[in-house]
């Protein structure tokens, strides 16, 4: 009898799983709404009955936080068999799906009606995340985890997220005052299933914009966890490296036209964390170039306003002379992409902290008058931030390395990214 009951149970589970394909069904009204019928499963494969399902606008998450409105556009509850049903109001948008059960949860990022066909929402054991700020914090009263509805109060003894779906997050700090609501990036964290993470490295400054701390690897930037499509890249005259979100890895293409080489990768760093290594070889014969960076056009095609920036900071080491470049729309147009606001950094084998004033940026090459192109005006349309190994300051054929960690823009907050 026990064998028969076991076979019946297996048969029932197989029927449940066979019915859990995510087949979007049109509502027939012509509005563009798609109804999704799905199944939420626990880590052992059993239905996640009673699980809370929250649909979050992936691209609108930051705007919702800024305005003080809810990030959840729709929510529902899984039935006794784990079946869930919800509607995606705009087929062209990307959504995050947060599912929470008793001891397990899941956050699936940037889904569309096309990408979730024939898939399953499978939950994992919750993570616990707690800690304190590095240094003084007098203003941040609440923390949020990017792209989700997870939030925690900041108290005098720190903060704690007792139940969080395991995932990579950018940690957002939120202030409350009588004048306005301000938010800032405090750091990044990757949470593992069933693990407790204690963090004491978060920044308590709102106007201290973290571009990336690479604790989640080299892929989307810390800002890219809030605004999709902001990822690291590297290009040379003979190849390129770009982050592929679908397979969650850096894809590299290498040509055969020259001996130039370029790569970006996550590497362990002296302080026990993770950094990005940008490596390059410049061909001896041709006209080589090697650049790594991040484009801001994913936020706004016309660029973003960082005119209030007073400087930038990072930890770095390596070999060679790297050009730190801030590309603005005005200079790109005026010089056909030749000149940028640039700082030349001579790298050493010792990991060092660098804080560089905006006054140290110079137009390189200086083919336009600095008086005509003033930072306070041109920086209202920042297009890219790039690091370049130039043949003007490096030896061709050498292996050049730039290892960077904790890259911040000073006196800039998330409110500047519009």
Distance from the first to the final alpha carbon of the chain: 65
**Strand 127-133 to strand 196-202: parallel, antiparallel, or no bridges (unpaired)?**
parallel
Q: Could you tell me which of 386, 103, 113, 372 has the C-alpha nearest to residue 234?
A: 386
The residue that leads in pLDDT, 224 or 80, is 80
On whether the CB atoms of residues 317 and 352 are closer than 8 A, the answer is yes
CB distance 394 to 321 below 8 Å: yes
Tell me, what's the pLDDT at 26? Answer: 40
CB-side neighbour CA atoms (13 Å) of 285? 4
411 and 355 in contact (C-beta within 8 Å)? no
How far apart are alpha carbons 113 and 238 in whole angstroms? 37
Name the band, by pLDDT with cuts 50, 70 and 90, for residue 369.
Answer: low
Q: When comparing pLDDT for 143 and 270, which is higher?
A: 143
- The string of pLDDT tens digits covering residues 172-181 is 998 876 566 7
- Which range among 177-181, 293-297, 322-326 shows the weakest confidence by mean pLDDT? 177-181
| Domain limits, the chain | 19-124, 127-206, 223-410
CB 117 within 8 A of CB 22: yes
Q: Summarize the confidence of residues 93-116 as an average pLDDT.
A: 88
Higher pLDDT, 246 or 403: 403
Angle, CA 82 vertex, CA 76 and CA 88 arms, to 5°: 40
Q: Of the given ranges (77-86, 91-100, 155-164), which has the lowest mean pLDDT? A: 91-100
CA distances from 362 to 92, 102, 272, 289, 388 (A): 42, 56, 34, 20, 15
Section 375-379 average pLDDT: 88
Q: Which CATH superfamily is domain 127-206 in?
A: PapC, C-terminal domain (2.60.40.2070)
pLDDT attached to residue 19: 39
Burial of 14 from C-beta contacts in 10 A (0-12 / 13-18 / 19+): exposed
Higher per-residue confidence, 136 vs 172: 172
Does the pLDDT value for residue 135 go beyond 60?
Answer: yes
Phi, psi of 280, deg, nearest 5: -155, 150
Of 44, 147, 146, 165, nearest to 95 by C-alpha is 147
**186 touches 159 (CB < 8 A):** no
Helices vs strands, H then E, count in the chain: 4, 30
- pLDDT tier at 15, thresholds 50, 70, 90: very low
Q: What is the mean pLDDT of residues 210-225?
A: 85
For residue 120, what are the contacts with CB-CB under 8 A and spacing of at least 6? Answer: 17, 20, 22, 38, 39, 41
Q: Does the structural domain 19-124 have CATH classification 1.10.3210.10?
A: no
pLDDT band at 418 (very low <50, low <70, confident <90, very high): low
Stronger pLDDT, 8 or 331, i.e. the higher one: 331
Position 181 scores a pLDDT of 74
**Integer CA distances (angstroms), 181 to 136, 160, 206, 216, in order:** 20, 22, 11, 27
Supply the pLDDT for residue 107.
96
For 92, 140, 180, the CA distances from 154, given in Å and listed in that order, are 36, 7, 18
How many angstroms separate the CA atoms of 306 and 109, rounded?
28
Contact 400, 390 (CB under 8 A): no
d(CA 184, CA 162): 22
Residue 400 vs residue 140, higher pLDDT: 400
Three-state SS string over 352-375 comes to EEEEEEHHHCEEECCCCCCCCCCH
Question: What count of other Cβ atoms lies within 10 Å of the Cβ of residue 347?
Answer: 18
Of these ranges, 26-40, 219-233, 311-325, the one predicted with the greatest mean pLDDT is 311-325
pLDDT score, position 344: 96
pLDDT of the residue at 216: 81
Average pLDDT over residues 339-356: 94
Q: Closest Cα partner for 417 from 248, 261, 109, 207?
A: 207
- The answer on pLDDT for 336 being more than 80 is no
Instruction: Give the gyration radius of the chain's Cα atoms.
Output: 24
Q: Do domains 127-206 and 223-410 have the same CATH topology?
A: no
* Superfamily of domain 223-410 in the CATH hierarchy: Galactose-binding lectin (2.60.120.430)
- Contact call for residues 145 and 173 (beta carbons, < 8 A): no
Residue 146 neighbours by CB distance under 10 Å:
27
């Amino acid at each position: 009898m026990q064998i028969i009951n076991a076979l019946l149970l297996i048969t029932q589970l197989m029927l449940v799983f066979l019915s859990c394909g995510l087949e979007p069904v049109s509502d027939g009204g012509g509005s563009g709404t798609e109804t999704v019928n799905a199944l939420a499963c626990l880590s052992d494969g059993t239905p996640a009955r009673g699980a809370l399902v929250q649909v979050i606008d992936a691209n609108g998450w930051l705007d919702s936080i800024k305005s003080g409105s809810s990030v959840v556009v729709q929510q529902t509850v899984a039935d006794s068999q784990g079946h869930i049903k919800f509607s995606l109001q705009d087929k062209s948008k990307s959504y995050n799906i947060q599912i929470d059960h008793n001891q397990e949860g899941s956050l699936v990022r940037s889904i569309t009606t096309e990408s979730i066909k024939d898939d399953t929402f499978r939950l994992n054991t919750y993570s616990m995340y707690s800690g304190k700020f590095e240094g003084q914090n007098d203003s941040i009263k609440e923390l949020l985890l990017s792209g989700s509805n997870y939030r925690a109060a900041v108290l005098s003894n720190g903060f704690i997220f007792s139940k969080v779906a395991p995932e990579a997050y950018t940690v957002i700090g939120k202030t409350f005052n009588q004048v306005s609501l301000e938010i800032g990036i405090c750091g990044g964290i990757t949470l593992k299933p069933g693990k407790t993470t204690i963090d004491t490295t978060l920044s308590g400054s709102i106007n201290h914009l973290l571009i990336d701390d690479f604790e989640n690897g080299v892929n989307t930037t810390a800002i890219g966890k809030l605004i999709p499509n902001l990822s690291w890249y590297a290009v040379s005259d003979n190849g390129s490296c770009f982050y592929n979100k679908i397979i969650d890895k850096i894809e590299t293409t290498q040509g055969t036209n020259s001996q130039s080489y370029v790569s970006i990768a996550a590497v362990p760093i002296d302080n026990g964390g993770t950094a990005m290594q940008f490596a390059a070889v410049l061909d001896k014969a041709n006209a080589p170039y090697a650049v790594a960076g991040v484009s801001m056009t994913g936020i706004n095609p016309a660029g973003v306003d960082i005119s209030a920036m007073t400087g930038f900071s990072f930890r770095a080491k390596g070999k060679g002379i790297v050009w730190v470049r801030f590309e603005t729309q005005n200079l790109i147009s005026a010089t056909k992409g030749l000149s940028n606001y640039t700082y030349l950094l001579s790298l050493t084998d010792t990991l060092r902290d660098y804080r560089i004033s905006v006054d140290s940026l110079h137009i390189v090459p200086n083919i336009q008058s600095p008086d005509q192109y003033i930072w306070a005006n041109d920086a209202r349309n920042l297009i890219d931030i790039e690091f370049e190994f130039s043949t003007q300051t490096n030896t061709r054929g050498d292996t050049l390395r730039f290892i960077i960690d904790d890259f911040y823009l000073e006196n800039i907050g998330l409110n500047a990214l519009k």
